[in-house]
Amino acid sequence: MVQSIAIAGNSGPKVRSDCEISLELNAEGGINIDLVSKVKSLYGESIRTLTIEILEFFKIRNASVKITDSGALPFVIAARLESAVKQLIDTDLDYLPEFIIENNYSTSRNRFRFSRLYLPGNTPGLMINAGLHSADGIILDLEDSVASGKKDEARILVRNALRQVNFYGAERMVRINQGEKGLEDLRFVIPHNVNLILIPKCESASYVSRVAEEIYNIKKALSLNLNLNNPVFLMPIIETALGVENAFEIARASKDVVALAIGLEDYTADLGVPRTSEGNESFYARTRIVVAAKAAGIQPIDSVFSDVGNMEALRQNVLISKGLGFEGMGCIHPRQIPVIRNGFAPEESEIEKSREIIFAFEMAKRKGLGVIAIGTKMIDLPVVDRAQKTIDLAVRLGLLSPNWIDGFQAEDN
């Protein structure tokens, strides 16, 4: 016997901005909708209209629908209903909500990736305001934060979120699943202007190549869609010993790889050791990944910090991470974002010192001198390079005017 009742979505006292939809296909009797919602008087009619429209789209004429609503937005209701439908009937159709114009932006290879906020891919309540926290990136996660029985639902919800939720310029990232399932995930997100794909538990360059190829194929098949001209970058996450062994090869597996991250919870689990705050157990892996990433010309990104209640410990962690060469870190709570962002940004004193060095270097160059000195201290060329990087960072972060040197010169004279 074919399944005739399907349930999708979530309900319960702690659920926000979601709904649970129960769908039963009938032989006759038309569409019956039973809506339970606190906002029924305000939105009841539009929810019914949407429901009928979607069922019609999937050519369903006779069905009983029970909607237990907890304040779901239309893109959520649509995702839940489509998920229920697809449990019951085979169809190639996708009910796509409008792609809002604000979401049609691309990102660049070298943009900052100081902070990126993880959002469970099947929890709409966390998605809606996520863009307000000013994270550099937003990750819609299809992997570990989604229960294995909910993967199909999450794919459709994430797809709809990519079309409808405004993330206010944050890099729009999706973490796919591992292996073949991860390759299938791509079909659900690539056509909807995702900016970056996170590849979890990455262990080989060949898998990265397969992801890049699959993305290329999806974009080619849909080449009429203009959005698909935006680049889709890749960020493999190293989470096993084998991944560490292959880190350099992974880092340069594709020109689309822009960053290499490490995931320490999984990594220490793979080693079978506790994750300590001193981190001796992962020092080798972390430093090797920094070198692998820098050697490949991409950004090394550190692991998330689990203790969301301890901001001082996070701050210390960021400083250590930055001192080793990492250029960013994942976040699992919005309140971690400013601590991480400020931590990775150059300090005021660092900027000031760099200005002095660059100024002295420019003066020496104009005077045709081969040796650069501040007072009696000789300055090596690598020190100048490092100072220039700090200045570039400060300028890009808006902490310094691009023309600062003119003002600086004036002050000095």
Does position 265 bind its own copies by CB under 8 A? yes
With respect to its own copies, which residue has the nearer C-beta, 215 or 258? Answer: 258
Does position 27 bind its own copies by CB under 8 A? no
Does position 271 bind its own copies by CB under 8 A? yes
Calpha distance 51→35 (Å, rounded): 11
Are the beta carbons of 277 and 310 closer than 8 angstroms?
A: no
Are the beta carbons of 192 and 165 closer than 8 angstroms?
A: no
With respect to its own copies, which residue has the nearer C-beta, 167 or 248? Answer: 248
Calpha distance 384→237 (Å, rounded): 32
Which of 28, 98, 312, 380 touches its own copies (CB under 8 A)? 380
Does position 335 bind its own copies by CB under 8 A? no
Residues 102-121 contacting its own copies, CB under 8 A:
120
Count of all residues that appear for the chain in the document? 413
Does position 144 bind its own copies by CB under 8 A? yes
Calpha distance 234→230 (Å, rounded): 13
Tracing tokens 């901005």 back to the chain, one arrives at 17
Tracing tokens 């080798």 back to the chain, one arrives at 284
The least distance separating its own copies from the CB of residue 79, rounded to whole angstroms, comes to 16
The least distance separating its own copies from the CB of residue 130, rounded to whole angstroms, comes to 18
The least distance separating its own copies from the CB of residue 330, rounded to whole angstroms, comes to 12
Tracing tokens 């819609």 back to the chain, one arrives at 140
Contacts within 8 Å (CB) and 24+ apart, 141-150? 141/174, 141/175, 142/174, 142/175, 142/176, 142/177, 142/185, 143/175, 143/176, 143/177, 143/178, 143/182, 143/200, 144/200, 145/118, 145/120, 145/121, 146/120, 146/121, 146/122, 147/122, 150/122
The least distance separating its own copies from the CB of residue 75, rounded to whole angstroms, comes to 20
The least distance separating its own copies from the CB of residue 99, rounded to whole angstroms, comes to 28
Interacting span for its own copies (CB under 8 A) from 66-74, 144-152, 166-174, 354-362: 144-152
The least distance separating its own copies from the CB of residue 96, rounded to whole angstroms, comes to 25
Residues touching its own copies: how many (CB under 8 A)? Answer: 59
Which of 353, 333, 371, 366 is closest to 408 using CA atoms? 353
Which of 83, 115, 268, 317 touches its own copies (CB under 8 A)? 268
Residues 277-306 contacting its own copies, CB under 8 A:
280-281, 283-285, 287-288, 290-296, 306
Does position 222 bind its own copies by CB under 8 A? no
Calpha distance 343→315 (Å, rounded): 7
Are the beta carbons of 130 and 164 closer than 8 angstroms?
A: no
Does position 266 bind its own copies by CB under 8 A? yes
166 Cβ contact partners less than 8 Å away, ≥ 6 residues apart: 100, 102, 103, 131
Interface contacts to its own copies, rule CB under 8 A: 120, 122, 144-150, 239-242, 244-245, 248, 263, 265-266, 268-274, 276, 280-281, 283-285, 287-288, 290-296, 306, 320, 322-325, 327, 368-371, 380-383, 385-386, 389
